[in-house]
Amino acid sequence: MSLPCGTRNYSYNTDMAIIRTKTQWVLFSLFLLALFTMPFYLPSSWFDIVNSIGILLVAIIGLNILMGYCGQLSLGHAGFMAVGAFTTAIFTNSLHLPYLASFLCSGLSAGLIGLIFGIPSLRVKGFYLAISTIAAQFIIIWVLKNWTDVTHGANGLNVSQASIGNFVFDSEAKQYYLIFSIASLSVLFATNLARSRIGRAFIAIRDNDLAAEVMGINVFNYKLLGFFLGCFFAGLAGSLYAQYKGHISYEDFTFQQSILYIGMLIIGGLGSSLGPILGTVIIESLQKGLTYWVAPWLEQTITFLPTGFSSGLNLMVFGLAFILILIFEPRGLAHLWSLFKGSYRLWPFSY
């Protein structure tokens, strides 16, 4: 059901490819074209939303690898982003490394910290692991807050914008290209990871880790690898966030953000390549749309309620969406999309 009928493959390569039919190639090329020419026709006030969607996409892809493929609950993703962000800030400011080097280093450092906090996954599963990742989040933020020699505590750190050699990404459009190139590469990586040996091991662990161990998969190694990869992408996202925003402090990475990321992932759909993309786009647009357009309009029209009531709206709408998706479609919007594709292909039973 996942391919139109009449698709025939004559070699193993074509059978295993991601894009199989000519229609899919055309659509994909058009999409890529649209994506990479967007800065030319996007209204300038939308750049902020689109760029933050791109940054979050990288983080949520990491979370997808960890939660969607490997099945390990992680409620501390914002903390790992913070590690990446601060690494970039420190490396570019104090050590004066070029941006790309500190970019990779932030991924590595976040991955290593994730590795350390992933060690409990050997002993516990499910809710206990979730609690230990919550503790990880708070511990990381505490360290960032109190290690003031390095992180400047509440004052935060200023980060200059990314630059490759002499080319500085100083406009929103240039940032767009940087962010979306990295995001596209991440999506490519994650999709291929899921189809590789490592990905299959992850999925086996997610489905039943005792059985996976019995089958000979080294569960501990792969769980740690899952944490490393997931937090690596979180670190990359944190690095992009730091240079995009220009100023970071420990207050930017709260537990509420972690819940938001989980929400994006689950609403989009765990364990698929399309899921993180859908989730991030929809939830982030919802949040920004509510803050910028709906809230001021509501404040002006409904004046009999105490002012400021609309800021709760953001949280309520997200919480409600989250609960409703969990009740009605726990596999997320990506699953709904694949159902739609299937029904479109099969109806009206033309053959």
Partner 1 sequence: MKKAPFAVVITLLLVFSFIFTNVLACSNQTPTPKKPLKVGFSIPLTGRAAEKGAPIGQGQLDAMKYINDELGGVDGNKIEVAWYDTNYDAPKATAIVKKLMEDGCLFFTVVASADMSASKEIANRAGFPGMVCFSSPSLTHPPQHIYAQLPDYGDDWAAFSRYYLKNIWKGPGKPKMALELLSNSTGYGVRDAARAAADELGIEIIAVEEHSATTISETDALTRIKAKNPDILFISSTPAPTAILLKNASDLKMIPGLTVACAHASFTKALIDSAGKDVCQDVYGVYPTVNWGDNVPGMAKMVEYGKARHPEYTGNNDYMIGWASSLINAEIIKQALKTSSVDALAKGDATAWQLVEKNGFLNVKGYDVGGLHGPVDFSDPVDKRGSKSVKIFQIKSGQMVALTTDWVDAPNIKYETLDWFGK
Partner 2 sequence: MDTLIQNSMTGIAIGMVYALIALGFALIWKSSRVANLALGQLVLISSWFTYGMLMQLKFPFWFGMIMTVAFAVLLGWLIERLALRPLIGQPILSLIAVTLGLAYFLEGLTAFIWPQGQGYLPRVFPQESIKIGPATIQQELLWGAVISLILFILLSLFFKYHKMGIAMRATADDQLAVQACAVPVTRIFSMSWIFACIVAAVGGILISSIAAINYGLVETGFKSFSVVILGGMESFLGCIVAGPIIGLCETFGGSLLGSSVKELIPFLIIMIVIMFKPFGLFGEERIERI
Which positions lie near partner 2, rule CB under 8 A?
67, 73, 75, 117, 119-120, 123-124, 126-128, 130-132, 134-136, 138-139, 142, 146, 208, 210-211, 214, 255-256, 259, 262-263, 266, 270, 306-320, 322-323, 326-327, 330
348 binds partner 1 (CB under 8 A): no
| Site track 127-166 with partner 1 (rule: CB under 8 A), x = hit | ------------------x--xx--xxxxx-xx-------
Between 65 and 290, CB nearer to partner 1: 290
Q: Select from partner 2, partner 1, none the partner in contact with residue 350, using the beta carbon and a kind-dependent cut-off of 5 to 8 Å.
A: partner 1
d(CA 145, CA 156): 9
Q: Smallest distance from the beta carbon of 321 to partner 1, in angstroms?
A: 18
Between 26 and 124, CB nearer to partner 1: 26
Backbone phi, psi, residue 118, to 5°: -90, -5
Q: Select from partner 2, partner 1, none the partner in contact with residue 149, using the beta carbon and a kind-dependent cut-off of 5 to 8 Å.
A: partner 1
d(CA 241, CA 52): 8
Q: Select from partner 1, partner 2, none the partner in contact with residue 142, using the beta carbon and a kind-dependent cut-off of 5 to 8 Å.
A: partner 2
Q: Select from partner 2, partner 1, none the partner in contact with residue 78, using the beta carbon and a kind-dependent cut-off of 5 to 8 Å.
A: none
335 binds partner 1 (CB under 8 A): no
The tokens for 291 are 């803050």
Whole-number Cα distances in Å, 61 to 156, 230, 343: 27, 8, 28
Q: Select from partner 2, partner 1, none the partner in contact with residue 48, using the beta carbon and a kind-dependent cut-off of 5 to 8 Å.
A: partner 1
Between 148 and 221, CB nearer to partner 1: 148
Site residues for partner 1, 186-245, by CB under 8 A, read: 245
314 binds partner 1 (CB under 8 A): yes
The tokens for 165 are 């050699």
Place of tokens 């899952």: 226
Whole-number Cα distances in Å, 298 to 45, 287, 301: 20, 15, 5
Residue pair 237/87 in contact by the 8 Å Cβ criterion: no
What contacts 295, CB < 8 A, 6 or more positions away? 310, 311, 313, 314
Residues paired with 163 in a beta bridge: 168
Whole-number Cα distances in Å, 225 to 10, 119, 221, 246: 35, 11, 6, 31
> Looking at 64, 88, 186, 249, which residue binds partner 1 (CB under 8 A)?
249
Q: Three-class SS of residue 157? A: strand
Q: Select from partner 1, partner 2, none the partner in contact with residue 342, using the beta carbon and a kind-dependent cut-off of 5 to 8 Å.
A: none
Buried/exposed code over 243-270 (b: 16+ C-beta within 10 A; e: otherwise): bbbeebbbebbeeebbbbbbbbbbbbbb
Residues that bind partner 1 (CB under 8 A): 4-6, 21-23, 26-27, 30, 34, 41-45, 48, 52, 145, 148-149, 152-156, 158-159, 245-247, 249, 251-252, 288, 291-292, 295-296, 307-312, 314, 350-351
